[in-house]
Amino acid sequence: MGSFASKTMNSHKVADQLEEEKKQMARSESIATNWRELSGQHYWKGLLDPLDINLRMNIIHYGEMAEATYDAFNSDIESKYARRSRYGKRDFFSKVGLEKGNPFKYKVTKFLYATSELEFHILDDVKESNWIGYVAVATDEGKAVLGRRDIVVAWRGTEQVMEWIKDLQFRLNYAPYIFGDDSECKVHRGFYSVYTATNSSQSDFNETSARTQVLTEITRLVKKYKDEEISITVTGHSLGAALATLNAVDIVTNGCNIPENEPLKACSVTAIVFASPRVGDSNFQEFSSGQKDLRILRIRNKKDIVPRHPFWGYAEAGQELMIETQKSNFLKQPGNVKSWHNLEVYLHGVAGTQGSKGGFNLEVKRDIALVNKGTGALQDKYNIPKAWRIDPNKGLAQQPDGTWKMQEPESESEDDDV
C-alpha cells in the first residue's frame, strides 16, 4: 500500500512539473512575440498594476543579471585577485548560477572597470579601479526565446569604500561627456565621476573610463548584428542603477544604438533598474523622457530609503513600479534598512507583488532560498542559512601535491570577445 501511495505521489509530482514546464514555455513564447511591449514601447501602460506575468519574468530576468555582478565581484582585500571578477567571461553565467533552468541564454563579451577618484588640491589625486559589470549578448538559443538579439549591460552596486564616498557626492554638475557643452542637464557628481573617470597611471585593469569601454563595445555589437533585430537593455542595482540610467541616456543621446550610416535602424534602449537613487535634475528628467528610443523602468521597494535620495534639486526619471516586500509572508517582518534595499529581496517582491489589490502571492515560482543568498531576511522556519553564498575556499584550489594555491581567473583578454 505504501509503495502504491508513493508511486501515486511521484506521478502527481511529475505531472505538476510537466504542467509548470508547459506554462514556462508558453510564457517564453509570449515574451518572444511581445518583447517590445515588455521593453516599454508604450511605457508599460496597463502592465504595471496588476503586474503582467510576462513583465514579472522579464524584470526578474534582468534583475538576476544585475545580481550576477555582486555574486562575481571579489571584494576580499586580502585576495591576490581582489577588485576583479572571480570568474572569466567564458563560463560566467554558469558560475553565477544562471545556466540551469534558465531559458534566457547569453554570452559575456566585455568586462567593465570603473575608476573611483578622490581629488585633492594639494596632494596627488587618489584613484582606484574596480570591476563594475559586463556587457553580454543573447546567443542564438537565447535569441529564439527573447524574440531578438538582446544586448545587455549590467552594472554593479556599491561594494568598495571609495564607491561609498562617490555615492555621497550629491552636488549636481553638468555632464558634457554625455550632453555636450550647451546642455542645461545636471547629474549627480559622484555617479558621473565613476562613469567617466580615467585611470591611465594607477590601474592594472583599465586606462579608459567605464563610459568609453561600454560605448565602444555597444557600438561594436550593434555593427556586428546590424542585419538582425536588436535591443539594448541596461540594468543595475543601487549605484549600478544610477550608472545604468546614465549609460542608457548616453547610448541614445550619442547614437550608439544606431548602426553606422543607417539612421532608420535605431534600436530600442531600455533601462530596468532596481533601488535607484535619483540621478539628475528636472532638465535631465525632461530630456530623458523626450528620447523616442529610450525607456526607463525603476523598481522601488516602498520602505527602501535609497530611491528617495538625494532630494534637494533632483527629479526621478522614467516610470516606476513600486513593490512592498513587507507584505510577503515568507520574510521576517518588518525587515530592516539592509533587507529593504537588498536586490534578492527586491526580486522576491517582484515575483509576488499584487499592486493596489494588496497582499502577496508568488506568481513566479522563484526559489525563496535566494532571498538568503546575502542576507538573513527569510523567516527562520524555512531553515535556509543566512548569507549562504560563499565562494569555495575563497578561491583557493588544492594542487596535485596537496598544497593550496589561489586560482587565477580565466583570461579577460580582448581575444576572448565574440
Catalytic residues: 238, 304, 341
Amino acid sitting at position 167: D
Residue 15 CA to residue 52 CA, distance in Å, equals 26
Q: Would you give the distance in Å from CA 28 to the centre of its chain?
A: 20
Q: What are phi and psi of 232, to 5 degrees?
A: -120, 125
Longest Cα–Cα distance of the chain, Å, equals: 85
Residues 71 and 370: beta-carbon distance below 8 Å: no
SS3 106: strand
Residues 145 and 105: beta-carbon distance below 8 Å: yes
Residues 338 and 376: beta-carbon distance below 8 Å: no
Amino acid sitting at position 314: Y
Residue 231 CA to residue 270 CA, distance in Å, equals 8
* Complete DSSP assignment for 384-408: --TT----GGGGEEE-TTS-EEEPP
